[in-house]
């Protein structure tokens, strides 16, 4: 059985405080983007109560046991002991450390795929709970519709955001931005929990207003420190605006930058050949 987990971009990203539990409160809009990894799950003949994981495409750095696909299987195996051993193959196309949520998408997709394939009858509410155990933005990929995100990112409110007729240009320069480092640059007071209801309301008003105002009003708090350390990322954003983007921003903690263009207004770009550049009609 195949699944094609998609990535996401952040439309605005405000970090409103550091919490006592070590996480941060955020206010953002998650928006799904049809650029996909591929996951295949088949039954294993080994009957070993284990998951056999293989991978192709972009190489994944790090210990395999930390992969969110494996962790997702283990979560369900703990609660559903009769879940059989499986072979899971991940083809990786979404770059990592890029602010696109590719790893989170893969983990959430594994939950959805196992639930469907093995008829576990797990409710959406339960799936969201499992997803949160994998990572703060994993629950979004269970819903996978435009959502206002708050709390750690797990408090999700679907919104009617219609960008039909716009073209999305996504540019990744192959720079890996460590999320922990990015948060450390924001100099937030430790052990503070801010009520970000007003920030969410303000964000909602901006998003549902005229897009021509987004350039001045819709900000990503990570841009300043990331641009200072990696000037090439800021160059991408400036280039997108110079080429006519209605709105351009870095996604998440970087390094991916996206631009929203009017339909049939996509210019020619001369980004370096090692950059990943793709265009999607929203």
**Residues marked as catalytic:** 8, 137
Residues in Cβ contact with 31 at an 8 Å cutoff, skipping those fewer than 6 apart: 8, 9, 10, 11, 146, 161, 163
Rounded to 10 deg, the angle between the 124-134 and 68-79 helix axes is 130
Give the residues across from 52 on adjacent strands. 87
Do 88 and 69 touch, CB atoms closer than 8 A?
yes
59-94 burial code (b ≥16 CB/10 A, e <16):
ebeeeeeebbbbbbbebbbeeeeebebbebbbbbbb
Distances in Å between the Cα of 18 and the Cα atoms of 151, 156, 187, 191, 272 are 11, 19, 10, 6, 37
Structure tokens belonging to residue 54: 């293989």
Do 88 and 73 touch, CB atoms closer than 8 A?
yes
User: What are the helix (H) ranges across 57-152?
Assistant: 68-79, 102-117, 124-134, 138-143
Do 153 and 26 touch, CB atoms closer than 8 A?
yes
Give the residues across from 167 on adjacent strands. 261, 281
| CA angle (97 as vertex; 92, 100 as ends), nearest 5 | 70
Number of neighbours of residue 51 by Cβ within 10 angstroms = 23
């Amino acid at each position: 059985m195949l699944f094609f987990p998609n990535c996401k971009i952040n439309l605005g990203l405000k970090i409103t405080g550091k919490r006592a539990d070590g996480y941060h409160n955020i206010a953002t809009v998650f928006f799904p983007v049809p650029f996909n990894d591929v996951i295949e799950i088949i039954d294993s003949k080994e009957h070993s109560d284990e998951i056999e994981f293989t991978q192709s495409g972009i190489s994944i750095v790090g210990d395999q046991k930390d992969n969110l696909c494996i962790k997702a299987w283990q979560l369900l195996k703990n609660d559903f002991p009769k879940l059989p051993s499986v072979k899971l193959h991940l083809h990786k196309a979404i770059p990592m450390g890029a602010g696109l949520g590719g790893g989170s998408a893969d983990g959430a997709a594994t939950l959805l795929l196992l639930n469907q394939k093995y008829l576990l009858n797990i409710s959406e509410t339960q799936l969201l709970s499992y997803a949160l155990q994998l990572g703060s933005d994993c629950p979004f990929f269970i819903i996978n519709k435009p959502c206002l995100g708050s709390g750690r990112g797990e408090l999700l409110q679907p919104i009617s955001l219609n960008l039909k007729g716009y073209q999305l240009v996504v540019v990744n320069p192959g720079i890996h931005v460590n999320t922990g480092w990015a948060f450390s640059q924001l100099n937030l007071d430790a052990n503070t929990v801010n009520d970000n209801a007003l920030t969410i309301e303000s964000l909602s008003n901006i998003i549902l207003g005229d897009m021509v105002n987004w350039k001045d009003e819709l900000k990503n708090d990570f841009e300043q420190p990331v641009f200072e350390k990696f000037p090439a990322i800021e160059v991408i954003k400036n280039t997108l605006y110079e080429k006519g983007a209605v709105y351009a921003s870095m996604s998440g903690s970087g390094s991916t930058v996206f631009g929203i263009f009017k339909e049939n207004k996509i210019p020619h770009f001369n980004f370096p050949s090692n950059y990943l550049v793709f265009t999607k009609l929203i």
